[in-house]
Amino acid sequence: MDSNNMQVLLTKEQILGSLDLKRETVEVPEWGGTILVRELTAEERDAYEASLMEAKKVGKRVEFQPNLKNVKAKMAAKCIIDHAGTRVFTDLEAVALGRKSGAALSNICDVIERLSGLDKKAKEELEGNLEVGQIGSSPSA
């Protein structure tokens, strides 16, 4: 390899020390003000996506079915932050947040999804993964 074409690679410390989470203020007229949101971390995105599936035992097999209960509030709770970057809501407080304006939460989640790279293609892929699936013993076994 030509030494003139060598790129300097980031170190572990540089990667872990980078401030890479995008933030954006969101006007929420339903709440009478502005909030600050950030994108989902990779860990939060995985946990959020996992929370969208629910295992249910059907006879001798387990079926995974979509669990869309309070999905917007769950996402918003993970990403509404204060100026220091600290979450305003815990995961447990998502239930209370889910009792707030659906229009407000929808607008907030639109921003979070955009910041988090949950574009149309990613959302379609996630929705495809939410198709009812099964694991375990099948009736034909």
Q: How far is CA 11 from the centre of its chain?
A: 27
Look at residue 5 and tell me if it is in a domain. Answer: no
Q: Which one is predicted more confidently, 31 or 64?
A: 31
Residue 101 placed within a domain: yes
Q: Domain for residue 115, yes or no?
A: yes
Reported as a single tens digit per residue, the pLDDT across 82-133 is 999 999 999 999 999 999 999 999 999 999 999 999 876 655 665 565 554 4
12 occurs within a structural domain: no
Instruction: Quote the pLDDT of residue 135.
Output: 43
Mean pLDDT value across residues 16-45: 95
Give the single-character DSSP code of 71: H
Residue 47 lies in a domain: yes
Q: Is residue 2 part of a domain?
A: no
Evaluate if residue 141 carries a pLDDT over 70.
Answer: no
Mean pLDDT of the chain: 86
User: Which pTM value belongs to this model?
Assistant: 0.74
Sheet with strand 53-58: strands edge to edge: 53-58, 61-66, 133-136
Compare 60 and 30 and report the one with higher pLDDT.
Answer: 30
**In the structure, what pLDDT confidence band is assigned to residue 55 with cuts at 50, 70 and 90?**
confident
Domain region containing 132: 28-136
Q: What's the average model confidence in pLDDT over 18-35? A: 96
For residue 74, tell me if it sits in a domain.
Answer: yes
- According to DSSP, residue 30 is labeled G
pLDDT, position 120: 65
pLDDT band at 3 (very low <50, low <70, confident <90, very high): low
- Give the count of domains, the chain: 1
Is residue 3 assigned to a domain? no
136: left (phi over 0), alpha (psi -120 to 50) or beta: left
Residue positions counted in the chain: 141
Instruction: Write out the two tokens for 101.
Output: 């304006």
pLDDT > 60? residue 134: no
Burial class (CB in 10 A: 0-12, 13-18, 19+), 74: buried
